[in-house]
Amino acid sequence: MKLQKLFQMQRALDRHIEEKHQLENEDLFTRKVLALLVELGELANETRCFKFWSIKPASPKEVILEEFVDGIHFILSLGIECGFSELDMEITKQQPELSAAEQFLKVYEQIGTFRNSKSVEEYMKLFADYLQLASLLGITDKEMEEAYIAKNKVNFERQENNY
């Protein structure tokens, strides 16, 4: 998956938010990591993949897709924060081998690993692990990109309306 278009869109949103909230000179890395962890938890909650005690089904795919792209926003933003957005990176997905619950845990662990290293290698692993989750959830690259573009627009509108 080529990411340049998404990085450009995210950079514009990040710049807009930072200017509006006077955050241009702040290090937002830690807060973005925490935001990603929270979004990952919200996604897991919507999939209900860990709720062995409940028979209630997962949320509709549109809800899961929207939660998924919230995570994409923060992964892209972290890449920008670390200076990785200018690299010509292409993330490839493998066939999922883990259950959804196991993949969520793998992503959580990789977020921690990346947080400590801030290396491009660990960033790419994080992105790949997150995209593996998409495969397990039945989300295609095309759906993800379209949903990201739509949510990016909503996020801009929210900023204009003092969200």
- Domain residues for the domain of 57 are 4-160
Output the pLDDT for position 1.
63
pLDDT digits (tens, 9 = 90+) for 10-42: 999 999 999 999 999 999 999 999 999 999 999
Pick the more confident residue, 76 or 95: 76
Tell me the C-alpha distance between 91 and 80, whole Å: 16
Q: What residues have CB less than 8 Å from 156, skipping those under 6 apart?
A: 13, 16
Output the pLDDT for position 161.
83
Q: What is the CATH number of the domain that holds 69?
A: 1.10.4010.10
Contact 96, 132 (CB under 8 A): yes
Tell me the C-alpha distance between 122 and 116, whole Å: 10
What total of structural domains would you count in the chain?
A: 1
Tell me the C-alpha distance between 153 and 91, whole Å: 24
In percent, the amount of the chain with pLDDT more than 90 equals: 83
